[in-house]
């Protein structure tokens, strides 16, 4: 006597975003259909996808970019948080998020444990700007490096530069890092009293007069915004890059001397 078998249910294939290493990343040098995104805070490569964040839909609840991984091949070089995060929405419902991070910085999340379906990227977490690549590439043979998003042209012919300022207790002063989000500059003065020193340094670095610059306070103690007249974003970026190279050479020299003492 034959036993009745339960009906077979056909399950649709899963498409998901995967965590990957640089060894198995797609060859983006020849795959122009892919968009590559970097952590806006440390510059590390985080995401490779067919989708464009610039034109992607936004989620109403938190303004996150939405990537449909069933439609767009998407791979992440991110770590999955050990525990999910419960978020209370305005309608009273609790949403469980499985978050992805670059180091300790949250970058995005999925509402599915296996990462399938929709991938959400936090607003402002990623940038298409890669300093290591774009710093060395000339745009059209003119010798002008493309500036990052933190150095832009604004109304009135001015250039806006977003700055992160830090104090060097050893007395150093100069540009120490260039990222998509800010130009990091170290100064000797306490952060609450460093504006005059910062303007003096920038005047020399950019070859501008103090009357051509305005320094605005940022949202935190360590952030400033400079408005500079008389220099294009490309010219400002070139001058800041040279300052970074000088500072890197100074630090390397000090480290070399330390090894021989």
For the four alpha carbons of 220, 223, 229 and 232, in that order, the dihedral sign comes to negative
Give the closest residue to 59 by CA, choosing from 108, 92, 114.
Answer: 108
CA distance 111 to 79: 16
Give the closest residue to 43 by CA, choosing from 122, 102, 116.
Answer: 102
Which conformational region is residue 117 in: left (phi greater than 0), alpha (psi within -120 to 50 degrees), or beta? left
Give the closest residue to 18 by CA, choosing from 68, 73, 83, 76.
Answer: 76
User: What pLDDT score does 198 carry?
Assistant: 95
pTM tops 0.75: no
User: What pLDDT score does 186 carry?
Assistant: 93
User: What pLDDT score does 120 carry?
Assistant: 96
CA distance 185 to 233: 17
The pair of structure tokens assigned to 95 is: 């949403």
Give the closest residue to 226 by CA, choosing from 195, 204, 190, 247.
Answer: 195
Residue 15 has a CB neighbour count (10 Å cut-off) of: 15
User: What pLDDT score does 218 carry?
Assistant: 83
Give the closest residue to 172 by CA, choosing from 161, 187, 159.
Answer: 187
State the virtual CA torsion across 20, 22, 23, 29 in degrees, nearest 10.
120
The pair of structure tokens assigned to 50 is: 């067919």
pLDDT tens, residue order, the chain (261 aa): 555 554 443 333 333 344 433 334 444 344 457 888 888 777 788 999 999 998 999 999 999 999 999 999 999 999 999 999 999 988 888 999 999 998 888 999 999 988 888 999 999 888 876 655 555 544 445 555 678 878 888 888 899 999 999 998 776 789 998 887 789 999 999 998 999 999 999 999 999 999 999 999 887 889 999 999 999 999 999 999 999 988 888 878 777 776 655
Per-residue pLDDT reduced to its tens digit, 46-81 = 999 999 998 999 999 999 999 999 999 999 999 999
User: What pLDDT score does 142 carry?
Assistant: 52
User: What pLDDT score does 66 carry?
Assistant: 96
Give the closest residue to 76 by CA, choosing from 32, 124, 43, 109.
Answer: 109
For the four alpha carbons of 221, 169, 194 and 175, in that order, the dihedral sign comes to negative
């Amino acid at each position: 006597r034959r036993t009745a078998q339960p009906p077979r249910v056909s399950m649709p294939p899963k498409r998901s975003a995967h965590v990957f290493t640089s060894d198995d990343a797609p060859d983006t040098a020849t795959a122009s259909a892919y968009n590559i995104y970097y952590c806006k805070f440390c510059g590390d490569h985080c995401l490779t996808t067919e989708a464009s964040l610039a034109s992607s839909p936004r989620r109403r609840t938190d303004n996150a970019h939405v990537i449909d991984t069933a439609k767009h091949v998407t791979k992440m070089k991110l770590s999955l948080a050990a525990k999910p995060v419960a978020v209370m929405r305005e309608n009273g419902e609790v949403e469980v998020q499985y978050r992805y991070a670059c180091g300790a910085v949250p970058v995005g999340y999925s509402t599915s444990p296996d990462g399938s379906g929709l991938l959400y990227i936090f607003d402002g977490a990623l940038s298409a700007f890669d300093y290591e690549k774009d710093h060395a590439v000339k745009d059209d043979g003119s010798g002008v490096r493309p500036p990052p998003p933190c150095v832009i042209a604004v109304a009135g012919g001015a250039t806006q530069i977003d700055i992160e300022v830090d104090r060097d207790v050893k007395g150093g002063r100069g540009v120490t890092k260039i990222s998509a989000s800010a130009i990091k500059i170290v100064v000797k003065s306490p952060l609450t009293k460093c504006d005059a020193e910062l303007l003096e340094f920038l005047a020399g670095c950019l070859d501008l007069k103090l009357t051509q610059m305005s320094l605005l306070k940022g949202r935190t103690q360590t952030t400033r915004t400079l408005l500079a007249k008389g220099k294009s974003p490309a010219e400002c970026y070139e001058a800041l890059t040279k300052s970074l190279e000088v500072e890197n050479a100074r630090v390397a020299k000090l480290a070399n001397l330390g090894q021989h003492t």
